[in-house]
């Protein structure tokens, strides 16, 4: 198998050099060119035909967002990974880039001395994402959906839904916008979301979702009462769980050990929801890399709850929902645009909503 051809675009020469060396050390990757700004990057895309583009956000002459817009006009399918600083401005720009069609992002590690790109950061995140997002070479971690396997039938009538829990990773911010924006203002259950993102980015994601939703969307805070009509997003680097006390169900956020190398983890939220709501849980697994959510869906299934997953064709990366479907835990597998209507139908199976 030929190595994945990468174009590295960043205005800092030291970043281009360090990233090129680190990516080039992986036999599955080849840095075919670098560029200091978007104008040069567009020319090199045409010249070198890379498989994946690593694109800095803030650059002179033509920044990352404008470059991405032009790339999408020329090649809607070319995978682009944004290279973002961990700042509020960069977070807002990153979410905008994801909305414009970037497949994923990686945050730049920083230290007191400035940019400090480490071998570990690249090996554990950047290399993995570049390989997974290369459309020419499917990721070894991506589990394809079986073509013929049907969702497992349930012998009994599903219980009344009391809460919706959603897990997402790669491609999730865009998918969440489309799902949450389509939920009605009178949704009679709460919605809790785990999206694999770092601190700050999750708050910005909650704000973006609030801007498109008829529901109230907030970043989760420990002790908050879980109420119908509210959407809660797990804060970056904190797990999100629910617990029941004498006054009702409340949120719990904590920094317990990572699960599936993630914090927040989908599995942990799904398990806690199954413990609190039992058969009243409706779990949703959207696009994402890895298998976070698989064990949680098994717990939901054992509690008698329901599971809906996004299909492979509409997923940026299908391994998270695909793992659940392959395990026979999905009650429904469907395109992204069908997810919100399906959730509304399952919340109110008598069809009073339109």
Q: Which domains does the chain have, with CATH numbers?
A: 4-133 (3.40.50.2300), 163-347 (3.40.50.180)
What is the pLDDT, as a whole number, of residue 96?
Answer: 93
Q: At a CB cut-off of 8 Å and minimum separation 6, what does 69 contact? A: 100
Positions of E strands within 108-263:
110-111, 114-115, 163-168, 191-195, 216-219, 230-233, 239-245, 248-254
Can the peptide bond before residue 348 be classed as cis, meaning omega within 30 degrees of 0?
Answer: no
Beta carbons of 237 and 199 less than 8 angstroms apart: yes
What is the pLDDT, as a whole number, of residue 137?
Answer: 38
What is the pLDDT, as a whole number, of residue 147?
Answer: 39
Among 142, 134, 140, smallest CA distance to 4 is for 134
DSSP letter assigned to residue 279: G
What is the pLDDT, as a whole number, of residue 127?
Answer: 87
Q: Taking the model in full, what pTM does it have?
A: 0.88
* Residues in the chain, pLDDT under 70: 110-123, 134-156, 349-354
Q: Which amino acids are annotated catalytic?
A: 169, 196, 292
What is the pLDDT, as a whole number, of residue 156?
Answer: 65
């Amino acid at each position: 198998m030929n190595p994945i051809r990468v174009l590295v675009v960043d205005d800092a020469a030291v970043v281009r050099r360090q990233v090129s060396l680190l990516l080039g050390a992986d036999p599955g990757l080849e840095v075919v060119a670098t560029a200091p700004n978007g104008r040069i990057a567009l020319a090199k895309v045409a010249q070198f035909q890379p498989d994946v583009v690593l694109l800095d956000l803030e650059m002179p002459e033509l920044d990352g967002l404008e470059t991405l817009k032009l790339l999408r006009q020329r090649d809607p399918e070319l995978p682009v990974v944004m290279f973002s600083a961990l700042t509020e401005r960069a977070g807002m720009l990153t979410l905008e880039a994801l909305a414009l069609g970037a497949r994923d992002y990686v945050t730049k590690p920083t230290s007191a001395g400035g940019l400090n790109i480490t071998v570990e950061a690249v090996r554990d995140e950047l290399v993995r994402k570049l390989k997974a997002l290369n459309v020419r070479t499917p990721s070894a971690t991506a589990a394809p959906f079986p073509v013929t396997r049907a969702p497992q039938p349930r012998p009994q009538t599903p219980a009344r839904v009391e809460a919706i829990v959603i897990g997402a990773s790669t491609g999730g911010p865009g998918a969440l916008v489309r799902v949450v924006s389509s939920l009605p203002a009178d949704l009679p259950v709460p919605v809790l979301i785990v999206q694999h993102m770092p601190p700050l980015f999750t708050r910005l994601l909650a704000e973006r979702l609030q801007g498109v939703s008829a529901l109230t969307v907030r970043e989760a805070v420990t002790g908050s009462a879980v109420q119908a009509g509210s959407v809660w997003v797990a804060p970056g680097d904190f797990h999100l769980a629910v617990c029941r006390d004498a006054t009702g169900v409340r949120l719990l956020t904590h920094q317990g050990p990572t699960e599936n190398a993630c914090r927040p983890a989908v599995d942990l939220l799904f398990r806690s929801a199954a413990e609190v709501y039992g058969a009243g849980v409706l779990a949703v697994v959207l696009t994402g890399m890895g298998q976070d959510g698989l064990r949680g869906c098994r717990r939901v299934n054992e509690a008698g709850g329901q599971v809906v997953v996004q299909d492979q064709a509409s997923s940026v990366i299908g391994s998270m929902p695909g793992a659940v479907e392959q395990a026979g835990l999905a009650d429904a597998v469907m395109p992204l645009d069908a997810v919100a209507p399906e959730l509304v139908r399952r919340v109110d199976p008598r069809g009073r909503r339109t």
